[in-house]
Structure 1
């Protein structure tokens, strides 16, 4: 079984193009099935599974990512930083138009690789991610594959640390320790983090360590680590309101400690941004982030229904309106979970986090497969399993990439979300108490 998994991962890394959806989906389903059979058979042999998970990741070491071009932008940003240039103040296309792109090593190749859409926008990757990109630029300043390898090694290391703290948390929560492998050996995690270099893995590592420190009553360090997770990806900001009732109703914690937690958190984020602060940073960064709510659309669920209604009633794409409405729905949902649900235990807090993120992504206009990794990580700390199904069905979104262009197959998008929502409904029905811890 292990040899088969290694062979499939090797094929995925070195002998697959994104447009070959039949091969992609077949390999992925085989990987998912065999991985979970392996966990089932060897769940008590954690050293074997840990070593095997690392080995699977190392198979990708010498491969360029084949499902995403984002890594070209990562390398571009890192090389700007190495040259002493703030990556938040210019777009790659501006460099190309200025005729000064030769100042960036392999600049034209990087811009071509990231493609026009990415190259035309300001970077939206927060500072801690940028520090890793810069590390790659320092270690391998003239080699794209070398930079990929540096970032890949960092992400493999973060996954191992995440696994270690998952086990600590599961032990504290009195949940089966082998659940940590539902994340560590999940093909979505291995392929999208190690394979395609998405930095959700680094964000999850900081989050998981922050949760552990919070349970150990190490408030300041927990806040610092949570802040670092925000400075990798902004997504954890969605979770911050959920701490209100957790702090307020803990015997040894109170509202003053809640304020301390929030204060140290935001201070940590601010300190990471300090090296890049400028007059235009907030405007450029904000404009780039806003694109994900008001312009970009991919593999959405609720939004696609609203978009269809808009076409039927208005005759045009109402994404700019729908994006704002859905943002309000997300905000109200998270605040409801924060103030009207008794998040007075870590079990209940993690369940609230899981559903806050699930609502966020169900309302989002863009859902790439690697986005599901964060709620997957939170789900490991609960008894809900619907995200495991989503980690399989989300790969249907790759059917949109074709040799002659890009076109989503909406029936496959519908199938993806029908599967997930069906499992959610089943889990609600089978639990005696809604949102139980």
Structure 2
């Protein structure tokens, strides 16, 4: 006899809990077969919940929180970044400025400024430990809270960091629901983000603070829709002070502010941007020093000049460089591609219709997508912003991307670490294919996932 819907949902929930538990506590990231199998299996109950329980909002909220709590006592197994988070937080607690000090320098001099310094440095790795921190002030506050509540336990600090991310995701559900209601879109679409296995694993599981950035971003958008643009700019400034990426969005608000009165709207846009920047300047003041600007800009610049991972257009340009010059032209290409992104943002700022709320959010999605297509480094967790923005749009290619992004982790199956460009190419074949299909399709549809 077929299970009733109630028992099917319970079974889907239990299966998800088991899979998340295995992912959190027993996964070896070098075992790509195990990693990809667990990951892809989690999308089956995800699709079930989105189709069969979409009208049961309280149930889906509870399930989303429950799945995150499975990771509560786990040490991240797909990322080492959290060790640097803990280091930075403990440095601040001890009175050090994390922006002008290198973990590598302390370790080489046999100076241990924080508890478990050797373990933290070993965990973050030589690459991370040899560069200045690039995490903005509000993010540093998150790290400081972990140090305050757990100054001598790495696991304890990870738990504090994880609880902050879970609370941020609850806030995203709250404001995301309000935005969907404002846009007259189905409120269950917020679970394309909140129940997405990629989001749960990369943010809650691997302790990436995109969740906190996105909490402030959706709060800011909500305030903007309520015509409270001054408070929206302050909150957007807080979002930037977690991760810098929302700075790219500033020009895209041009038509939103000028849609009724050109001159007044343009002045409001200038004030809006100025408040965002001033908010960040004020937040950086406690860390102000003669070396702050040089160390911070140098650290951020490394992402364009030195690092490369899971890239798209950049890898094609790199191969062309090898063909004609015989060596990697990242120093040059890393400057050209951001310029192309700026030009593209300018085009959609002035020549694309971005006046309605959904048009504005879609512009943010399209602009950031192009930036990620041209970046030299596309870490999986960067995708979380596109996943959330897609919730408020007609596009679903970020959801598909969140499935195939697992192909990028094949690099960790190699010792030493090395990307297989066939896997990267396959990933982007899916992403570009779905994006082109969605962009060119003329027929009416709810979404590519039909949910």
TM-score by length of 1: 0.97
More displaced 10-residue stretch of structure 1: 346-355 or 256-265: 256-265
Cα distance, 1:37 vs structure 2: 1.3
Q: Does 1:213 align with 2:226?
A: no
Change (3 A) 1:409 1:251: same
**Distance in 1 (alpha carbons) for counterparts of 2:28 and 2:212:** 26
Please point out which of 25, 29, 43 is paired with 1:14. Answer: 25
Which stretch has the larger CA shift, 191-200 or 249-258?
Answer: 249-258
1:328-407 → structure 2 map (5 Å cutoff)? 328-402=339-413, 404-407=415-418
Q: TM-score, normalised by structure 2?
A: 0.94
Give the secondary-structure state (helix, strand or coil) at the position aligned to 1:63: coil
Deviation at 1:33, TM superposition (A): 2.0
Residue 325 in 1 paired to residue 305 in 2? Answer: no
**Structure 1, unpaired ranges of 5+:** none
1:78 aligned onto 2:53? no
Moved over 6 A (4+): none
Q: How far does residue 251 in structure 1 lie from its aligned partner after superposition?
A: 5.7
Say whether residues 1:232 and 2:242 are aligned partners.
yes
The C-alpha deviation readout for 1:214-271, integer Å capped at 9, x for no partner, is 0001111100110000000000011111011110113697222212211211111111
1:431 Cα deviation after fit: 3.7
342-351 vs 145-154, which moves further:
342-351
Contact map agreement 1:250 1:344 (CA 8 A) in 2: no
Query: Partner residue of 2:144?
Result: 134
Instruction: State the SS of the aligned residue for 1:254.
Output: helix
1:85, 1:72 → 2: CA distance?
A: 17
Return the alpha-carbon distance in structure 1 between the equivalents of residues 210 and 428 of structure 2: 22
CA contact (8 A) 1:129 1:231 kept: yes
Secondary structure of the structure 1 residue equivalent to 2:273:
helix
Moved more, 269-278 or 355-364: 269-278
Specify every segment of 5 or more residues in structure 2 that has no aligned partner in the other structure, as ranges.
Answer: 1-11, 445-451
What is the aligned counterpart of 2:205 among 191, 195, 202? 195
1:271 aligns with 2:282: yes
Residue by residue over 1:80-116, the C-alpha shift from the partner in whole angstroms, topping out at 9 and shown as x without a partner, is 0000100000111011122212x31100110001011
1:70-219 matched pairs, under 5 angstroms = 70-101=81-112, 103-219=113-229
- The yes-or-no answer on 1:427 pairing with 2:438 is yes
When residues 266 and 4 of structure 1 are mapped into structure 2, their CA distance, relative to the original with a 3 A threshold, is same
Q: Is the 8 A contact 1:396 1:413 kept in 2?
A: yes
Q: How far, CA to CA, are the matches of 1:36 and 1:288 in structure 2?
A: 40
Structure 2 residue 217 is the aligned partner of structure 1 residue 223: no
Maintained 8 Å contact 1:214/1:222: yes
Residue 142 of structure 1 and its aligned partner are, at CA, apart by 0.5
Structure 1 stretch displaced more, 118-127 or 401-410: 401-410
Question: In 2 relative to 1, CA 403–362 (structure 1 residues): closer, same or farther, beyond 3 Å?
Answer: closer
The CA RMSD over aligned residues, in Å, is: 1.2
Cα contact 1:244–1:338 (8 A) shared by 2: yes
